[in-house]
Amino acid sequence: MEFQIPDFLPAAAELFVAGMALLMLLVVSFMRRGATTAAYWMTQVTILGMALVAVFTGRDVGFTFGQMYIDDPLGDFLKVWVALSVATSLFYGRRYLIDRGLETVEYYLLVMFAMLGSMILITAGSLLTVYLGLEMLSLSSYALVAINRDSTQSTEAGMKYFVLGALASGLLLYGISMVYGGTQTLNIIEVARALFEQQANRPVLLFGLVFIVAGIGFKIGAVPFHMWLPDVYQGAPTAVTILIASAPKLAAFAMAFRLLAVGFWDFAEQWQMMLILLAIGSLAIGNLGAIAQTNIKRMLAYSTIGHMGFILLGLASGVVGGERYLADNAYSAALFYAVTYALTTLGSFGILLLMSRAGFEADQIDDFKGLNKRSSWWAAMMAILMFSMAGLPFFVGFFSKFMVLQFVVATDHVWLAVFAVMMSLIGAFYYLRIVKLMFFDEPLDDAPIVAGVGVRVVLSANVLAVVALGLFPNVLMYFCSLVIHGSF
């Protein structure tokens, strides 16, 4: 058999990141001073370069490495947003790391490999590539969570994440083995073709689908696979929490879309009900659990579980009575929700990092008391983010929820839309509680909020983007519809 050289252009962004990670490892090994600073700037340059490569090498739909890798508009779009999320997270968190002596070359290397894992997961065309990307992202994340080796809380969170992550990987791998047994292929497109042409063992595939949905549920943080989320968010250094809370959620959306909406298209009615059950549990546990929290990182973790419920509702709303005429728009709404959630989360944790200083973690809800008297600007910025997460008009969080709910109603699940609205009303309580503390309580701490001009400008722009997208949601929604239609 003659060996054919694959087309490397569709994977140019991933190859660029991998090459720069190896180059950074080589460069810093010869540096006696300034290695961490060099690693930071090389990482930022790599992220910028990756985004540019992804944009300029993009194509309609391309395959390489024996269809194990897909290059399409959805992949390019999400890679740009992953680049934006990671670059912004590093920018916000650098002072936090320096103040605590956590800024190391290893930290930036782990971030680059986690980003590479996210990119592989986003553009995976095979179940094997899905597993490879997921493990690269997960293993890097375990190490990042436990990077503060002097903190018992951090190492405990890393261990919990590792144990539960290993269990979820085992479930996913078992599901993949069932899919291979039922179709004799690991290629996602070939799995879909085998189902369509009635050439697959459907009972075995349905059995494997249950385990694959379980693996997706863990990565997204949906109930009942959410147990790791509050502990990891609280235990990890805040500079790591912001990374875990943003970019991996975009990769998890891509993973769910590739596996379910593409690979198991003919099982849509089955996995639709599974996702609805996960969404109901996530909306209830996420919003009810957040009320009792006194640690704002744990509160945001439970909030994340609730938001993931909305994304699952969007993914589950593409099928109506066996007909898929809503698919493009429903998946576009779910993508819109995932992107705007990442943007809002970046701003929320950015303000936590801004309020933290050496020897002080701004991770308690009471730390926001009287923030308006310390800084009216940052109190207003945090209020905007809380209003958006609560889904109040006219912020982007309102439109993201509204777009998902209109497709839930269109699938004749009016009761489910009513339930989601009721849970959102409960969620509004703990978001508005933060606003009340900032504007109506006396401050517990009079220390000034110190940050560089760059961080202040970028963080302000981040929050104002939430306002702008709330006023003009159709701009982002247009691009979401475009990439879903071009990739589906």
User: Quick one: pLDDT band at residue 358, thresholds 50, 70, 90?
Assistant: confident
The radius of gyration of the chain's CA atoms, rounded to the nearest angstrom, is 22
| Alpha-carbon span 137 to 139, nearest angstrom | 6
The answer to whether residue 3 is domain-embedded is: no
Number of structural domains (the chain) is 1
Contact 488, 334 (CB under 8 A): no
pLDDT band at 1 (very low <50, low <70, confident <90, very high): very low
The torsion angle over the Cα atoms of residues 318, 320, 322 and 323, rounded to 10 degrees, is: -70
pLDDT tens across 146-178, in order?
A: 998 888 889 999 999 999 999 889 999 999 999
User: Using one digit for the tens of pLDDT, what is the confidence trace for 394-423?
Assistant: 889 999 999 999 999 888 888 999 999 999
What length does the chain have?
488
Give the mean pLDDT of the chain.
89
Give the range of the structural domain holding residue 112, as residue numbers without chain letter.
9-487
Q: How is residue 213 written in tokens?
A: 């949905």
1 domain-assigned: no
| Structural domain includes residue 281 | yes
Nearest CA to 428 out of 397, 468, 406 is that of 397
Distances (CA, A) of 380 to 272, 323, 464: 39, 45, 11
Given a contact cutoff of 8 angstroms between Cβ atoms, the answer to whether 218 and 164 are in contact is yes
**340 bridge partner residues:** none
Other CB atoms closer than 10 Å to residue 183's CB: what's the count? 23
State pLDDT tens for residues 250-264: 999 999 999 998 888
Do the domain assignments include residue 342? yes
Which residues on adjacent β-strands are paired with residue 187? 126
Is residue 4 a part of any domain in this protein?
A: no
H-type alpha helices, 257-295: 268-291
Give the max Cα distance, the chain: 76
- Distances, alpha carbon 189 to alpha carbons 263, 265, 296, in Å: 6, 10, 42
Look at residue 55 and tell me if it is in a domain: yes
Q: Which helix (H) or strand (E) holds 64?
A: strand 62-64
Q: Which of 323, 332, 312 is nearest to 268 (CA)?
A: 323
